[in-house]
Amino acid sequence: MEEFVIAGKPVLIWSKKDIDTEMEQASLDRRDANFAGKTLKSFSLMEKDFDYGINFQNTLIIGNVFFADASVNGSVNLANAAIDGSFFFNRGKLIGDLLMEKAWVGQTINLSGINITGSVLMPQTRINGFVSLAKAVALGNIDLRGAEVQNYLQGELKVNGDVLCENAQINGFLDLSGATVAGDVNLKSALIRQRLAARDLKLEGNFFLKDCIYNKALVDLGGLPEEKIIR
């Protein structure tokens, strides 16, 4: 470990070697890897498999988090974590949930092409860049209730549950065009500062817009039956 000074206090930073040691020990012990409450330089599991979950609760990650093309057989928990860089789980496979409640992400979240057997749970998360869900597949819900996205949220995704964005604030655009949602899309009391699009959205449930703040001149819900839109 290396010692840094953050906000005037000495902090031990986990290096790649330290992280690899914990991952290897967790595999031997047949348990989740645990980085809860630690400070990491960065994290990478790119193009690798891990047979258990990973716990990053209350963890500070100074750089990026890479799960691109990885497979994780368990939930990844980043509740209350802070990531100075970006979070990548594009084209990966997750057998469990992605838990990011009240997390803070300094740049972007890229989940394009992810295949997840559980839910993507990001209520009250703060993201300073965009969120990409292009070609993502989730058997559970996509939950961004109360989240704040500084840029856009976009994805031609497939969801077996609901897309929940109540009370969310999206300072860019929200585009679900071409997506397939087996449940509801809920934008109650959300704020969409730019374009709101859901053209050719395949929706089994309803599209809730009650108390949602959006620009009517920048709305494209083409192909969505009017009876499914709850205003």
pLDDT tens for each residue of 22-38? 999 999 999 999 999 99
Instruction: Report the candidate in 109, 110, 145, 143 with the shortest Cα–Cα distance to residue 128.
Output: 109
Q: Which amino acid is located at 41 in the chain?
A: K
pLDDT tens for each residue of 142-198? 999 999 999 999 999 999 999 999 999 999 999 999 999 999 999 999 999 999 999
Q: What angle do CA 114, 36, 104 make, to 5 degrees?
A: 60
pLDDT > 90? residue 124: yes
* Mean model confidence pLDDT for the chain: 95
**And the tokens for 117?**
């057997």
> Residues near 77 by Cβ (< 8 Å), separated by ≥ 6?
53, 54, 55, 56, 57, 99
pLDDT > 80? residue 8: no
Residue 3 pLDDT level (bands cut at 50, 70, 90): low
For the chain, how long is the longest CA-to-CA vector? 60
Verdict on whether the full-model pTM lies above 0.85: yes
